[in-house]
Every structure is written in C-alpha cells, then in structure tokens.
Structure 1
Amino acid sequence: MLLHTILTRMIRTGSLTVRYPSGRIRVYGTGEAPMAGLWLRTPRAERRMVLNPGLALGELYMDGEVEPLDCSIFELLDLMAGNLWAGAPHPMETLNYQLRRLRRRIDQLNPAGRARRNVAHHYDLNGRLYALFLDRDRQYSCGYFPTGQETLDEAQTAKKRHIAAKLRLTEPGLEVVDIGCGWGGMALTLARDWGARVTGITLSEEQLGVARSRAEEAGLADRVRFELLDYRALPQFLGRPVDRVVSVGMFEHVGIDHYRSFFRTLRGLLKPDGVALIHAIGRAAGPGATNPWLTKYIFPGGYSPALSEVLPAVEASGLWVTDIEILRLHYAETLKHWRRRFAANRDAILSLYDERFCRMFEFYLAGAELSFRRSDHMNWQLQLSPSVDALPMSRDYMLDAERAAAGGRVSA
C-alpha cells in the first residue's frame, strides 16, 4: 500500500485516521491531538492520492469520493497542512511541484484575451453568491485587522482607509485610476470620502454592471466611471497621466511574464509627482508555483509572487519604491470570516448552484485560509512613485491621515 507508506512518513504532528475503501482503518501520527480523519470511498481515490494529491484531494472532495471522517474539511486540511513541513514530503507531490515550477511561465501567459477569460471564470459568477459571504461593500480582498478583533465590515473599511492614507489624497479632485476595481467599493470610497475623481477598470462583465449601478445609486456617477478595460489599454484610453493609481487584489492575475510590462505601464500612467499603491498576495519563502487544483477550478493563470520576483520589474521601470508593508495574518482572518459566512448561507448558495460547487468553494476557502496560517503566504503593499521627492520624508503622514479619517481613533 503506497499511500500507507507515504502517510506513515508524512504525518508526524497530531493524528490522522484513514478509512480505506476496503473498510480497513489505520491511524497515522502521534495518536494525540490535533486529530482529523479521511475516508477514501473508492479505490480510484486511493490511487489518485498517491499519484497527484495536490490536484486529486480537492477534486475527490468535490465528487464525494473523499470525505472528512469525524471532522470538517477545514480540520482535515489543517492537520495535513501542519504536517507538510513537519513530516517527510509526499514524493509525487514534490515531483509534481517541480514540474509546475518548470512550466509556470507558460501557464501564466496572460495576453489580453486570455486574461479576460481567466477573470470571467471566477468573477462572472452569479452576483448573489458574493453578496452572501463578503462584507456589505463586497471587498473581495484582504481586510485590515489592526487588533484582530474587528468585524469583517470594520476590517474592510479599515483596509480602504489604510490604502487611501498611503495614496496621500491631500486635496479634492485628484485623478485616480483603480486597476481591477471589482464591484466598485474602493473607487466609490475614494470619491465619496476623499474627494477623488476615479476611473475604475475591470475585465468582469458582472462586476462592471454592479459597479456602474452602485455609482448611480450613490449619486457619484459624475465623479466615478467604470470601464471594461485591460490595464495595458489604459494609456491610450486616458490619453494623459493621472495623479494616483491604486490596485487591490489584481496583481495576482498579471502573470510573471508580464511584470515588467505592468510596471512600465504604471509609470507611464503617473504624473512626475504621482503615487501608486499596489496591494497583492505574496509568498515569504521565495518563488513557487500555484496549486494545480486552485489553477484549474478557482484562479486560472493566477500566481502569488514573492517580492524577489516583483522588485526587479519595479526597478527596471524606473519607479521608486517609497514604502513596503507586509500584512501577515490579515488575510487568514478575512478568509475565516468568509468561510463562516459561506457555511451560514450554504442553503442559499446551494439554490444558486449545486452540491459540487458548494464543496468546491468550501475547499477553496479552507485551503486559502490555511495557506496564510500554516504556509508562507502573506500580503504585501508597495507604494511607488516616479519621483524621489513626491512624498514626505517619513511615514508619519500615513498614520495622521488614517487617524483623521477614522475620527481620531488610533488604528494600530
């Protein structure tokens, strides 16, 4: 039994109980907490867990060939994630990972047409789905938890405030471009609360319709516009440089082959004293490769880069890095809220899709949270400018602006 041998070597922390298709039950690990269980319901499931577990586990769970045994899918994945570093690696997963590393430039080629198809795969789902587990403003990116005790809505409000402070919107009427504007929440906030004039772009038809409706409903359509546009078309579309550029949760879809093009485009968009703020998921342990299940079912073409892969492209563009911040567990807390809200609204979501879809999203949210709690994932924020003297000498202005926007409350 190859899987038995692999699990014997791999599970060193806690206890994993496995029920095999034959009915035989084995326990791996220490026999102590934390504990989780795995039921392999078919011989095919057992074979696939040997050959390609990175892809197979999620697919088998979606299809009901694998079930958590006396635990939740989160608890099962938590135990397995905790053992990826402590125990011996899965030999086939190690090989598969190296192969993914070798072909990642091909996998991440994102010309405009492919980029739009990739976005549609995940973001053009039924709009009600996201309303059922996101915050009121539909912020589909990492919240900001200064204390860790904030509600989801408080954390997403704090995130927007944190980013706005870094953009240094010191006067009304500054022109801002929001690359990857989602359902419009950031753009509307910058216009309403900070006096900016904003152009938001997205590749999602679903998001575009919602964002435009929200601008009309908020009475901000004269100060905020939303367009279905690829970032590479922005210079020609705008025809002039702007004061500020913000991009939250979009850079993960750019692709490593396109980083230099992205930052050259960004530099061309900014006035000499302009400021940009890029917020994205990254990895702390250096370059890697995206999990194959995540690529196939959730974010085709997506990749969360190490800063060592991003900064050379920034340097080549001629932009100054004026500030870097690493947000460590903030996305883990965000995903915990999303996971719990999804569970609370599962029946409503099931009415929109089917059981397989619900299982797919449950697996995604649990695995994503654990990538921030147990692995090397984090968020980074890069503040950039074409000019060395476009911003004050110290970071104090950020905290001052954030405090003022929060009504004098200290946010950190």
Structure 2
Amino acid sequence: MSNSETSHDERFEQYGGRFAPGRFSPGRAAMWLLAKALRRLVQNGRLTIYDPCGETWHFGPGGEPAVSARLTDRALPAKLLANPSLALGEAYMDGTLRIEAGSLRDLLSICTSDMDTIDALPGMRLIGLLDAFMARRLHHNPISRSHANVAHHYDISTELYDLFLDADRQYSCAYFATGDETLDEAQALKKRHIAAKLLLRPGLEVLDIGSGWGGLAMELAQKHAARVTGLSLSTEQIAAARDRAARSGLSDRVAFERRDYRQERGQYDRVVSVGMFEHVGRSGFDAFFGTLQRVLKADGVGLLHAIGTKAPKGGSDPWIRKYIFPGGYLPTLSETIAAAERSGMWVTDVEVLRLHYAETLRHWSERFAAERETARTLYDERFCRMWEFYLAVCETAFRNGRLMVFQIQLAKQRETVPLTRNYIAETEACQIAGNIPPDTNTGRAS
C-alpha cells in the first residue's frame, strides 16, 4: 500500500517513532489529531494536505471538488483544532495556509459538508461554552458601541463596495425568483418584494432603519410616492445617500439621518429594516421591537429582513466577529418572534429565504475576484485575502450550514393586513405591469 493510501490509524503507527522519547513533537501530534478530525469531517470530494513537517495527507472518497492545501506554520494544526473558524480565516489571510489546487470556496465546501461533525470538535465545544459565558459582553451593543461597530465595517471606502455590489449598492440578500436572474435583477426583485409586503400607497411616512446607501429608501419614494426617513450610523453611507438623493431630485421626499434607531421619536405609517437586525445583539432585541412598536402608528405595518440561524440557539462566528462584524449576533427565528411578541405586536407574516443569500454571495465573490487588483491598490494583499475569505465562508454557511434569511411582517392591529398572502404576488405583478396595485382591503384596484 502506498503512503498516500495508508489509513490514518496506520499512519500513526507508521510514524510512531516520532513520538518516542526524545523525538516527540507537539506539532506532529497536533497534525495527527487534526488528521483524525478531518477523516471524520471530509465526506465528499478529495482534500490533500501538505503539513508543516513535510508529510502528505489525503482525505475524502475522491471526485470533485478536489483541493490541495499547504500548511506552512508548525503551530497551525493546533490552532485549527482549538478554534477552527478563527484559525482557518487567519491562516488564509496570513498566507500560512496556501491553496495549491482548487479554490478557497472548494476547500470551504469540503470542510462544511457535515456541520454536526464540526460542532462535535473539542475546540468548537469549548468556543460554545466561552461564548455562552461571555454572551453579554460579546453581543451587547449600547449606542456608543454600535457607532464603533458600524464604523469598523461600513466606514471603509465606498469604492470597495462598488467593486462587487449591484449598481444600487444593495448590501443584503437579493431575491432570486427563478435562480437565473443577474445580481442587479435579483436586488430589484428584493426591493419590489419588500415594497409589496409594506402595503404602500402615496403619501405614507416610512422609516428605514439601517438605510445603507439609500437605494431602498429612494425606490420607496420614487416608485411609491412615500416620504422616507433613513437611519444609519455610518458617516460614509449617510454622505453618499444624501448626495444621491440630491442628484436624483428626491431630497424633498427622502431624508437620511445619522441616528441610532433607539433615538427615533417620530411616528410612521411603515417601518422597514433590511440587514440591520444582525447588529442589534441579543440583549437589544426588546429595545429594537419596543422601538418599532413605539414609532409605528396604530394602523402601521413593519417589515424586518434579517439573517438568522436554524441552530438551537443564535450566536456569531469567531472570525467574522473579530474581523468583519464586531458585536454581531445571528438570531434564531424563534427568539426573534418571541421578542416581537413581547412588544405586543402581531406577527402577521413570516417568509424564510434559504439559498437566496448563497446565490447573492456567489455573485459578490465572482465580482470581487474580477476586480481584485483594484481592491489591492485600495488596501493590500492581506485585506484582499480577508475579504475573499469573508465572502466565501459566508456563501458556504448559507449553502451548507444553518444560516438563512427571514422576513417578518408586523402590525399593531390584527386587521391591518389582508387575510391571505395573495396581495403580495398581486402587488408585485402590478408593479411589473406598471398598473395601480389592488386595494388591500377589497382586492379591487384602488
């Protein structure tokens, strides 16, 4: 039997002399333990690892995807065992993990095909215990910390986001009705889908919590004759949104304010929040829904669009938390709805989007790869590798893991929205045809 075909248990015996007195190597022991974990983890494709000690390891049944990766840091196997997500991301950023065949997305796809095995790793169990112990500190976001967290991610150059986002700068999950849409088409469908659920009519006052670069707010004003107030804590986003509103002639109908949602004192017919709830933090759920309940008029409608998890409890990934979204927390649908119900509002509709964000992230990854050299001139090679890992690991988490997006519609009164969901598709069809949407109380054109 060739060296490459030797089982891992036989490999341990074959190299047993390395663990003899005077020849013991912690690095070799860690690599052997890592190999034992990978043997259980890799259930599809073929993964070849060239370890720091000069040995070659093969995992998986074979076929595609096929990936070869070289580990150049002797401490890396132990780090991967202790904190897989953090160590893998940092190793890719630092170049101590080099992919020599296949792609990063292939590697992540192979390694995330069995989430139960990942969760059973000793390091993951320890991380879970530490996260539970530090949950209050990790996911508590008072206003001052929220400002700092937003600046960390959103106050970097808008030029970076223009490299991979659609023309409207929609930095959230798109809506793929057929799966064949372009990114720009899918983002337009997302805005249309949300507008239908908001039951808009001319003259309504709308609050957009987490308005980003203003695309959704301006669409609601321009196509639905709403008066919109957008809130963001990002200096870059507010400046860009105000400039765009002025150039579009919408400044009289759209206002963008750098203000925390908890400081909002207005009254609104509609409240929408897209891609912002993930930054609230577990301890902030009641404040968030309490704010929605307070600012919504008696016959108001709210729509929450957010990333969630089907895991038994919410949380955050260590690498994402450190490098991308400090203070972030991905909730379960159950704990989100429980918080909404504590506010006294009705949950009037729930929709779960499963693979839509995976497709969105695939488009973002491909666009970023096409503009990588431009990104490197804006920042540096390590930043590019960080951003590549961010987009790829998030896509994999939606495609193979437990993440999804949910949209929750809320109202103060049970009679505010129609009895059935038919109005959503009918309103979207009218928007496509350019007709007046049906009256949501009678089903007839208003």
How far residue 86 of structure 1 moved from its aligned partner, in angstroms, is 5.8
Residue matched to 1:212: 242
Q: Which has the larger radius of gyration?
A: 2
**1:218-273 deviations in Å (ceiling 9; x for gaps):** 000000000000000002xx3xx210001000000001101011111101101100
Within the candidate set 357, 378, 400, 2:426 is matched to 400
**1:199-222 deviations in Å (ceiling 9; x for gaps):** 001000000000000000000000
Query: Cα–Cα, structure 1 residues 87 and 379, in superposed 2: closer, same or farther, change >3 Å?
Result: closer
1:77 correspondence with 2:108: yes
Query: Cα–Cα, structure 1 residues 94 and 38, in superposed 2: closer, same or farther, change >3 Å?
Result: farther
Paired residue secondary structure (1:30): strand
Amino acid paired to 1:218: S
Residue matched to 1:119: 150
Extract unaligned runs of 5+ from structure 2.
1-28, 436-446
Cα distance in 2, alignment partners of residues 87 and 219 from structure 1: 52
Within the candidate set 374, 389, 392, 1:363 is matched to 389
Cα distance in 1, alignment partners of residues 119 and 276 from structure 2: 35
1:202 correspondence with 2:232: yes
Residue matched to 1:149: 180
Cα distance in 2, alignment partners of residues 260 and 161 from structure 1: 29
Within the candidate set 282, 285, 306, 2:332 is matched to 306
1:65 correspondence with 2:91: no
Residue matched to 2:216: 186
Cα distance in 2, alignment partners of residues 146 and 96 from structure 1: 38
Cα distance in 1, alignment partners of residues 36 and 85 from structure 2: 18
Within the candidate set 119, 125, 150, 1:94 is matched to 125
Cα distance in 2, alignment partners of residues 83 and 322 from structure 1: 35
Cα distance in 2, alignment partners of residues 176 and 397 from structure 1: 20
**1:90-130 deviations in Å (ceiling 9; x for gaps):** 22223223322332232011000000100100000101000
How far residue 286 of structure 1 moved from its aligned partner, in angstroms, is 2.8
Paired residue secondary structure (2:433): coil
1:324 correspondence with 2:353: no
Paired residue secondary structure (1:321): strand
1:242 correspondence with 2:268: yes
The CA RMSD measured in Å over matched residues stands at: 1.5
Cα distance in 2, alignment partners of residues 401 and 281 from structure 1: 25
How far residue 408 of structure 1 moved from its aligned partner, in angstroms, is 6.8
Paired residue secondary structure (2:419): coil
Cα distance in 2, alignment partners of residues 4 and 32 from structure 1: 19
Paired residue secondary structure (2:327): coil
1:161 correspondence with 2:187: no
Q: Is 117-126 or 24-33 further displaced after alignment?
A: 24-33
Amino acid paired to 2:210: G
Cα distance in 1, alignment partners of residues 44 and 177 from structure 2: 31
Cα distance in 2, alignment partners of residues 149 and 18 from structure 1: 36
Paired residue secondary structure (2:264): helix
- Greater RCO, 1 or 2 (C-alpha within 8 Å, sep 6+): 1
Query: Cα–Cα, structure 1 residues 83 and 13, in superposed 2: closer, same or farther, change >3 Å?
Result: farther
Within the candidate set 57, 64, 70, 1:26 is matched to 57
Cα distance in 1, alignment partners of residues 312 and 196 from structure 2: 29
Is the Cα–Cα contact under 8 Å of residues 43 and 110 in structure 2 kept in the other structure? no
Q: TM-score, normalising length from structure 1?
A: 0.95
Residue matched to 1:391: 417
How far residue 16 of structure 1 moved from its aligned partner, in angstroms, is 1.5
Amino acid paired to 1:148: G
How far residue 3 of structure 1 moved from its aligned partner, in angstroms, is 1.9
Paired residue secondary structure (1:219): coil
Within the candidate set 130, 133, 149, 2:161 is matched to 130
Is the Cα–Cα contact under 8 Å of residues 10 and 90 in structure 1 kept in the other structure? no
Q: Is 375-384 or 64-73 further displaced after alignment?
A: 64-73
Amino acid paired to 1:59: E
**1:70-101 deviations in Å (ceiling 9; x for gaps):** 11111111100114346783222232233223
Residue matched to 2:298: 272
Cα distance in 1, alignment partners of residues 167 and 197 from structure 2: 23
Is the Cα–Cα contact under 8 Å of residues 268 and 296 in structure 2 kept in the other structure? yes
Q: Is 65-74 or 126-135 further displaced after alignment?
A: 65-74
Amino acid paired to 2:383: F
Residue matched to 1:13: 44
**1:4-50 deviations in Å (ceiling 9; x for gaps):** 23223332333211101122111022234332222101212223122
Amino acid paired to 2:359: E
Cα distance in 2, alignment partners of residues 288 and 111 from structure 1: 19
Within the candidate set 118, 130, 140, 1:109 is matched to 140
Cα distance in 2, alignment partners of residues 129 and 232 from structure 1: 29
Residue matched to 2:69: 38
Residue matched to 1:228: 258
Amino acid paired to 2:257: E
Q: Is 89-98 or 318-327 further displaced after alignment?
A: 89-98
Residue matched to 2:20: none
Amino acid paired to 2:75: R
Is the Cα–Cα contact under 8 Å of residues 10 and 89 in structure 1 kept in the other structure? no
Cα distance in 2, alignment partners of residues 355 and 180 from structure 1: 30
Cα distance in 2, alignment partners of residues 222 and 388 from structure 1: 33
Cα distance in 1, alignment partners of residues 337 and 91 from structure 2: 38
Within the candidate set 274, 283, 289, 2:315 is matched to 289
Cα distance in 2, alignment partners of residues 32 and 91 from structure 1: 29
1:261 correspondence with 2:287: yes
Cα distance in 2, alignment partners of residues 87 and 259 from structure 1: 29
Amino acid paired to 1:74: R
Is the Cα–Cα contact under 8 Å of residues 207 and 229 in structure 2 kept in the other structure? yes
Is the Cα–Cα contact under 8 Å of residues 118 and 124 in structure 2 kept in the other structure? no
Extract unaligned runs of 5+ from structure 1.
none
Aligned length: 404
| Percent identity (aligned) | 51
Amino acid paired to 2:407: Q
